[in-house]
Structure 1
Amino acid sequence: MIRIAAATIRLRRLSFVGTFIALALGSALMAALGLVLDTTVTAPPRPPQRYSTVPVVVAGSQTLTVPTGRGGASAPLAEPRGVPADVVAAFPDAVVDRVFRAYYGRDGVGRPWSALGLDGQALRQGRAPAADDEIAVADGRLGDRVPVVTDGGLVRYTIVGIVTDGPQPAVFFTDARAAALHPRVDALALTRSADDVRSVIGDRAIVLTGQDRARLDANREPDARDRNNAATIVGIALGFAAFVAIFVVASTFAFAVAQRRAEFALLRATGATPGQIRRMVYAEALLVAVTAAAAGTAAGPWLAARISSQFVPAWVSTLSNAHWPLWTSFGTGAAVALLGALAAAWRAGRVRPGEALRETAVEPRVMPLTRWVLGLGVLGTALVTMAVTAIGDPGAATNRKTYMPVVMLLVAAAGLLAPALVRPVARAVAAALDRPRGATGLVASASARASARRTAAIAAPVLVTVGLAAALLTASALTDTAKVALDKPPIPAAATVVATGGAGLDQELVRALPDAQFSTPTSVYTLEGDTALIRREALAVTWVPDDAVMVTPDLALPVGSTAHVWLADGSPAALRVIGELPLGSPADLLVGAGNAYSARPTVAYLSARVPIPPGHNATYSNARTAGPSASRTGLFVVLAIVLGYTALSLVNTLLMAAPDRAGEHRTLRLLGALRSQILRVSLLEVLISVAIGVVLASACAFIAVGSLWLTLLRVTGPLTITVPWLPLGAITAGTIALALLTALVSGARPVARASGGGARG
């Protein structure tokens, strides 16, 4: 059987080249994305930066731990605690470090001069600060008088020292000035033995050594966030790659088997059993799968090295050399081919010996019951998923990860049901061609309807290409619009002042804004199900009392009840629930401004515009528009992968379909058709197939975006749907041009052969 399968593949190379390329590219993508995912997940954290030159660091508690029904639950504190005064007094030889926000043309931190060198920085020019109005910085000119904004306000300082660059922009003050600006001691740097330090402090503070010193670095949370974002984007890309591989391979393999009905009928007539026919198809699939998956997997590391910069955080420099992505890719590629051949082999085994004698231009039943069940089941799953989101959790619709699976399900359903939809859709598409094109349009539309399986096979890659692009780009723009709508002022305000950068509004500026209401980002911890401690985004606002809270509906805390929570510094609080926030609110809770601790306000709401004192890091907010984000960038990368994949699939499907038209072309020549007329028929038939794919893609996009709009209607109210016509037009036009060019190239030879064997005219 293997020998027969190998001979068949050699004789019908064109029928298998599409499957081979699709499998090879899919395996390469899955191997590459698997390596990138492993790189993102397993990359070691950055080595300690802020305290890279000292062996032992003492810091205040960084973790909140609460008792639960299963022992205890912990989470990192949003508001780290300082080192207790008695611990500081116990180590007179320690370097006392204070780290506080300082805005000097950009976001940075202020530190005492004695902390210089803890992160490897050194004095490069000038001298150490000696007076309260002197500083040392990494960028600037000696003698310049510059403004620096700290928590207390804006003060001008003289630059007396230039230091080398460090891991974080820093302004170095005298030790006394740093203590006055920021009384809390954030860390003690020691050269003693860690065991000796622990024996002195007990459980009053924590001792950090080795890699644990990185827990105090400023990049700790951003690195974790970048890692999670990258893993999410790569996971989505991997899911799309697997989806498109299965979709395209199944469609291509089914079409290849459908082309060989006469061949299977002749084998049956010579005594082959249905089981032998099925085993032959499986053997062909296995041979193609093994070679294609091996080729694709071998190319995986090369491809991973070229796409990793689009996904992996910049601080990760080494690509993973793990073997599991390669083995997984190889196994998945082989499994995809066998799954794609499963239904096709079952149909091949049902071919009857006499079918070769009565094969006509009109295909037999193109939609078996199993395909109907599977297609309608996938469509039903998509519709139920949309309904569950719209009814149960409409706020989740603003997350791209929520609607991407729905789009894939809709496209898969359309692809499965495509053969049944070809004929009615082809009639509608061809109606416009029959009149202006006369007999040419009539023949092309009739051929497209009669060869429903061939038409569906050509339309499938178009459906994936245009459908995914239209649905994902339009839905992404809609969710961005929803996020902007949700970012509206929570209270009436004539003007809004926002902090430029992450340092927040300093106290001097706060005092300079009369009658303003302020909002400060913070965190609140809740215990879910008496087992999980959840850190939730919250805002500390001036219009909520310090003993009260407003919550979103998902917390299930009715107005008038008591919320038992932990605040940003880990202190427990019992807060009165005085109101419910709307669905989709940017924060889960609103607490009183007194619960913001050391965090600065980032937004001020004013009843009228007033001048902002110069030098402060603040500006009036204009109407906000959605900007680029990491997830949106990842979305474009995913689409680029999918578009390249399906473009190759479209080309190969058209090349596979070309030989089927040779007999049709000879018949048309015998009827007196010119070469140019035959070529126009071929091009129009391909154009109809592409148009069917575009129509089905538009239907998928309409359903996906429409359901998203209806879901967001409950969260934000009516939203404007902005269709990105330019990229969609370019993608659609490129797909049409690619299809017509391939049809022109692949159809020229069969037309020439038909002309050689038919009447001349």
Structure 2
Amino acid sequence: MLTIAWSTLRTRWLSFAGTFVALALGAALMAALGQVLTSSISSPDRAPQRYAAAPVVVVPDERLSVKNWLGESSAPLAEPRGLAPELAARLPGAVVDRVFPAQLAGGPPAVGRPWSAARTAPQPLSSGRAPARDDEIVVTGGAQVGRRVHVVTAAGAQAYRVVGLAAAGPQHTVFFTDRRAAALSPRIDALALWRPAAEVRAALGASETAAGKAATPAVSTKVKVLTGQERALLDPFREADEQARNNANTIVGIAAGFAAFIAIFVVSSTFAFAVGQRQREFALLRTIGATARQVRRMVYGEAIIVALTASALGALIGPLATRPILDRLSALGMAPAWLVPSTSAAPSYVAFGTGVLVAVLGVIVAARRAGRVRPAEALREAALEPRAMTAGRWIAGGSLLATAVASMIVNAVSDPSGATNNKTFMPIVMLLIAAVGLLAPVFVRPVTSLLATPLRRLRGAGALVVPAGAIASTRRTAATAAPVLVTVALAATLLGAAAMTDATKAATQTTPVRADYLVLPTRAAGLDRQLVASLRAVRGADVTPVTSTSLYTLEGGGTQLIKRPAEAVNPATLTAALSVPVAAGSLAELRDDTIAVSLTWELSLGQRVKLWRADGSQATLKVVALLDADSTADSYVTEVHAFSALPSAAYVKLRPGVSTADVQEALERATRGHNARAVTKADWAVTAADRRASASRLGMLAVLGIMLSYTVIALVNTLLMAASDRAAERGGLRLLGATTRQVLGYVMGEALLVVAVGVVLAAVATALGLLGLYAALVQLAGSVPIDVPWEPVTGVIALCFVLAVLAAVLPASRVRGVAIPRA
């Protein structure tokens, strides 16, 4: 049977060309994605940047450790505590480094440091001189030597003279004199040394005990000595690098999941279509003595031969795409630019095995159908299409549809917030598309009749022949429309879901805001204290700065230290600025010794909770309010618990009878020169939604760009197979007097009609998926618009129409008059 399978492949190569290309592409994609994932995991971290020239760096152990009945639990601190000042005296020659917010007014994001720390990178002078007076600075960009500029720090904006320019280093920096840097930021963040690490550790051995005796919560009692690659832990882009790695891994995982799904879909539909075309061939084999098992083995043999060659080719060429994929993800901000492509062969081996497995899984149903062909079917003189919907197809399609619907109901009822997670929603999308694909023959006749209604008003035989051919061959029409279904449904559902999820998240963020204006920092540093004081002095407005901080609690039976987000606010103006849903208690009782917590804390009103604040200091606060489930904040405390963190926003609520123009002018005047801006609530809501939608859509487009290449191959392959199967039929039309133009018109019309059927089926799958998502999202943010980004979806549909016409017309254009088989 393997010999027959090989002969079949040689004579019917066109029927398997698309499967070969799809499997080869799938293996190549799997190998490339595997290499990207391996590169993300195995690439070494970037070499130290901030302290590249300092062989030894002493830093505080910025972890909070709390003892419990099982031992000890720890978590990273949100607010750095710094080193004890006496440590610097015990380490002669150490460079005392302080890193704090400092940025030129209107300049690029930057930090402030003492000039002595410039040698740690190093960041030498490129022009000018070092700062000698407290009103002099050296910058790495954004100003010229001799210019007088304003620098915004946590304290506020102050004028300085630029006396030198230094190399950029790992980030833009404003260098002050050591004395001025100490005044702006008393906390010591690191000590850089050019001494042997063992000598430093020996010197610190005696100092740790002394430091611990006089330690306060604001000063670390433990220190770490970092050398070698460990120094990279202090680099400014460390967290961004980890986030970019996670983004790359997430996109690769999503793309790999869809690649496997689409590969199985393509292979199974292609082989099912091929088996339908070869009914007589299998029947003849049965007639000459082949058993059902042998026929199945032949079909499996064909699949395995194609899979082995295609997967091997794909596994070999796939790694070549690793660098382009990494570059594209890096350009989109979804992967670190410094990742090194892996040279491991493991992804190629996995891709090869996956390709063969996909082929076997995809051909199971087709092989069983081939084995059920009876010998008597070889005696038929006319090719009759088998029954479109078998019992197995009904059961499989119905089960997948029921599973998808049940999953959406469960999400909407028990976990609506989980529906916004791609890992939860995307499997449902796959189930819906597979279910509609299996049930497609049921809808082909009514959908085709509906779409063909306008054609019946046209004159000529084509208006009757085109829909009649599609209706008479429902299985073939469904098989040809299936790639269109996958292509359009994936694009519309994923992009629509991303848009709806973004709109929901934006609504939950903006709806509670009652303020008329928001003052926001233009950079990540926050709003400086001088600006906050100026805002509070604005007449006719209540100003509520909000500072993000963290609290730590022992949970899990008092065994695990959990870091929880908190908002530090002014209780007197909080409810004027924000609509805070309270399930029990009152925010009016929020004071320095009380707290408002969400229901997830599982605390009761009046309960006193022991916790640790952002700097590691311990406090016991009384619960005076329980926040409802739809609260945007996890907890509220007063501003005394914010410490050195700067406000991330300030809400401005106008008092009755106050002139809007006067307040707006006062806000613009207050923010000028402070790297902040005042915006209306409406403008802020639009900007927040657009920014969220842009980032989300980039991720979806990156995944879709990879997946659509798959489905396009499936579409072209299915149409080419259908064209070769109907060459005699079109030749018969020529013999009956149809001109070449009429035959091509018929072929084009049928291709367009089939694509339209696929688009309608895709609309059904998309509608089901988005309605299920809507049912969950409406509980989070009320009414959410069902928004499908029509521009990219329309482009995908247009591409399907163009490819369908080309794939159908080009083979038909070569048809001449041929003998008509006896009927």
Answer yes or no: is the 8 Å Cα contact 1:583–1:715 preserved in 2.
Answer: no
Question: Do structure 1's residue 465 and structure 2's residue 523 form an aligned pair?
Answer: no
Indicate the residue corresponding to 2:162 in structure 1. 159
Question: Do structure 1's residue 529 and structure 2's residue 556 form an aligned pair?
Answer: yes
What secondary structure sits across from 2:546 in the alignment?
strand
Q: Give identity over the alignment, percent.
A: 51
Indicate the residue corresponding to 2:192 in structure 1. 189
Question: Do structure 1's residue 277 and structure 2's residue 305 form an aligned pair?
Answer: no
Indicate the residue corresponding to 2:343 in structure 1. 321
What secondary structure sits across from 1:183 in the alignment?
coil
Indicate the residue corresponding to 2:807 in structure 1. 742
What secondary structure sits across from 2:814 in the alignment?
helix
Output the CA distance in 1 between the equivalents of 2:762 and 2:737. Answer: 37
Answer yes or no: is the 8 Å Cα contact 2:740–2:813 preserved in 1.
Answer: no
Out of 631, 635, 651, which is 1:589 matched to? 635
Deviates more, 1:582-591 or 1:313-322: 582-591
Please give the per-residue CA displacement for 1:240-259, whole angstroms capped at 9, x wherever unaligned: 22221111111112111221
Indicate the residue corresponding to 1:569 in structure 2. 615
Deviates more, 1:157-166 or 1:353-362: 353-362
- The correspondence of residues 429-578 of structure 1 with structure 2, limited to 5 A, is 429-436=451-458, 439-488=461-510, 490-514=512-536, 515-527=542-554, 529-530=556-557, 533-543=561-571, 545-578=591-624
1:554: Cα distance to partner? 4.2
What secondary structure sits across from 1:521 in the alignment?
strand
Cα distance, 1:588–1:437 mapped onto 2, change above 3 Å = farther
Cα distance, 1:420–1:362 mapped onto 2, change above 3 Å = farther
Deviates more, 1:739-748 or 1:437-446: 437-446
Please give the per-residue CA displacement for 1:101-135, whole angstroms capped at 9, x wherever unaligned: 00212221111111121111112322221211111
1:535: Cα distance to partner? 3.5
User: Quick one: which amino acid aligns to residue 677 of structure 2?
Assistant: T
Out of 364, 381, 384, which is 1:342 matched to? 364
Q: Which runs of 5+ in 1 are unaligned?
A: none
User: Quick one: which amino acid aligns to residue 696 of structure 1?
Assistant: L
Please give the per-residue CA displacement for 1:526-558, whole angstroms capped at 9, x wherever unaligned: 555356544444332223534444444444445
Output the CA distance in 2 between the equivalents of 1:266 and 1:529. Answer: 69
Out of 206, 209, 213, which is 2:231 matched to? 213
Output the CA distance in 2 between the equivalents of 1:462 and 1:532. Answer: 51
Please give the per-residue CA displacement for 1:554-585, whole angstroms capped at 9, x wherever unaligned: 44445554555443223344444444545565
Cα distance, 1:561–1:131 mapped onto 2, change above 3 Å = same
Cα distance, 1:527–1:444 mapped onto 2, change above 3 Å = farther
1:174: Cα distance to partner? 1.1
TM-score normalised per structure 1: 0.94
Question: Do structure 1's residue 419 and structure 2's residue 484 form an aligned pair?
Answer: no
Answer yes or no: is the 8 Å Cα contact 1:234–1:311 preserved in 2.
Answer: no
What secondary structure sits across from 2:149 in the alignment?
strand
Out of 377, 386, 403, which is 1:381 matched to? 403
Indicate the residue corresponding to 2:727 in structure 1. 662
User: Quick one: which amino acid aligns to residue 547 of structure 2?
Assistant: T
Please give the per-residue CA displacement for 1:274-295, whole angstroms capped at 9, x wherever unaligned: 0100111111111000000011
Please give the per-residue CA displacement for 1:3-58, whole angstroms capped at 9, x wherever unaligned: 21111100111111111011011111111111111111222211221111112211
Cα distance, 1:236–1:125 mapped onto 2, change above 3 Å = same
Indicate the residue corresponding to 1:717 in structure 2. 782
- The correspondence of residues 122-133 of structure 1 with structure 2, limited to 5 A, is 122-133=124-135
Output the CA distance in 2 between the equivalents of 1:256 and 1:10. Answer: 14
Answer yes or no: is the 8 Å Cα contact 1:57–1:213 preserved in 2.
Answer: yes
User: Quick one: which amino acid aligns to residue 567 of structure 1?
Assistant: R
Indicate the residue corresponding to 1:265 in structure 2. 283
User: Quick one: which amino acid aligns to residue 220 of structure 1?
Assistant: R
Output the CA distance in 2 between the equivalents of 1:686 and 1:529. Answer: 61
Out of 140, 145, 150, which is 1:147 matched to? 150
Output the CA distance in 2 between the equivalents of 1:563 and 1:276. Answer: 73
1:374: Cα distance to partner? 2.3
Please give the per-residue CA displacement for 1:587-640, whole angstroms capped at 9, x wherever unaligned: 433333222221100211112333333211110122333226544312111111
Cα distance, 1:69–1:255 mapped onto 2, change above 3 Å = farther
- The correspondence of residues 4-153 of structure 1 with structure 2, limited to 5 A, is 4-67=4-67, 71-104=71-104, 105-139=107-141, 140-153=143-156
Cα distance, 1:371–1:555 mapped onto 2, change above 3 Å = farther
Output the CA distance in 1 between the equivalents of 2:180 and 2:320. Answer: 54
Indicate the residue corresponding to 2:428 in structure 1. 406
1:68: Cα distance to partner? 5.6
State how many pairs are aligned: 757
1:386: Cα distance to partner? 1.5
Output the CA distance in 2 between the equivalents of 1:21 and 1:555. Answer: 54
Output the CA distance in 1 between the equivalents of 2:352 and 2:554. Answer: 44
Out of 200, 208, 217, which is 2:206 matched to? 200
Output the CA distance in 1 between the equivalents of 2:755 and 2:560. Answer: 52
Cα distance, 1:82–1:723 mapped onto 2, change above 3 Å = same
Output the CA distance in 2 between the equivalents of 1:413 and 1:533. Answer: 45
Deviates more, 1:225-234 or 1:74-83: 74-83
Output the CA distance in 1 between the equivalents of 2:337 and 2:167. Answer: 21
What secondary structure sits across from 2:505 in the alignment?
helix
Output the CA distance in 2 between the equivalents of 1:254 and 1:71. Answer: 61
Deviates more, 1:388-397 or 1:706-715: 388-397
User: Quick one: which amino acid aligns to residue 397 of structure 2?
Assistant: G
Question: Do structure 1's residue 229 and structure 2's residue 247 form an aligned pair?
Answer: yes
Indicate the residue corresponding to 2:271 in structure 1. 253
Q: Which runs of 5+ in 2 are unaligned?
A: 209-220, 537-541, 572-589, 655-662
Output the CA distance in 2 between the equivalents of 1:675 and 1:583. Answer: 68
Cα distance, 1:156–1:18 mapped onto 2, change above 3 Å = same
1:97: Cα distance to partner? 0.9
Please give the per-residue CA displacement for 1:401-433, whole angstroms capped at 9, x wherever unaligned: 442222222112212222333233323333333
Answer yes or no: is the 8 Å Cα contact 1:394–1:583 preserved in 2.
Answer: no
What secondary structure sits across from 2:123 in the alignment?
coil
Cα distance, 1:575–1:388 mapped onto 2, change above 3 Å = farther
What secondary structure sits across from 1:364 in the alignment?
coil
Indicate the residue corresponding to 2:576 in structure 1. none
Answer yes or no: is the 8 Å Cα contact 1:493–1:606 preserved in 2.
Answer: yes
Deviates more, 1:344-353 or 1:189-198: 189-198
Cα distance, 1:43–1:686 mapped onto 2, change above 3 Å = same
Deviates more, 1:713-722 or 1:24-33: 713-722
Output the CA distance in 2 between the equivalents of 1:721 and 1:42. Answer: 41
User: Quick one: which amino acid aligns to residue 588 of structure 1?
Assistant: D
What secondary structure sits across from 1:345 in the alignment?
helix
What secondary structure sits across from 1:255 in the alignment?
helix
Please give the per-residue CA displacement for 1:68-96, whole angstroms capped at 9, x wherever unaligned: 67644433222122102332332243211
User: Quick one: which amino acid aligns to residue 607 of structure 1?
Assistant: K
Answer yes or no: is the 8 Å Cα contact 1:505–1:602 preserved in 2.
Answer: yes
Indicate the residue corresponding to 2:759 in structure 1. 694
1:435: Cα distance to partner? 3.5
Output the CA distance in 2 between the equivalents of 1:489 and 1:278. Answer: 61
1:159: Cα distance to partner? 1.1
Output the CA distance in 2 between the equivalents of 1:468 and 1:560. Answer: 51
User: Quick one: which amino acid aligns to residue 676 of structure 2?
Assistant: A
Deviates more, 1:18-27 or 1:366-375: 366-375
Deviates more, 1:507-516 or 1:367-376: 367-376
Cα distance, 1:645–1:670 mapped onto 2, change above 3 Å = same
TM-score normalised per structure 2: 0.87
User: Quick one: which amino acid aligns to residue 485 of structure 1?
Assistant: A
Indicate the residue corresponding to 2:577 in structure 1. none
Output the CA distance in 2 between the equivalents of 1:10 and 1:359. Answer: 26
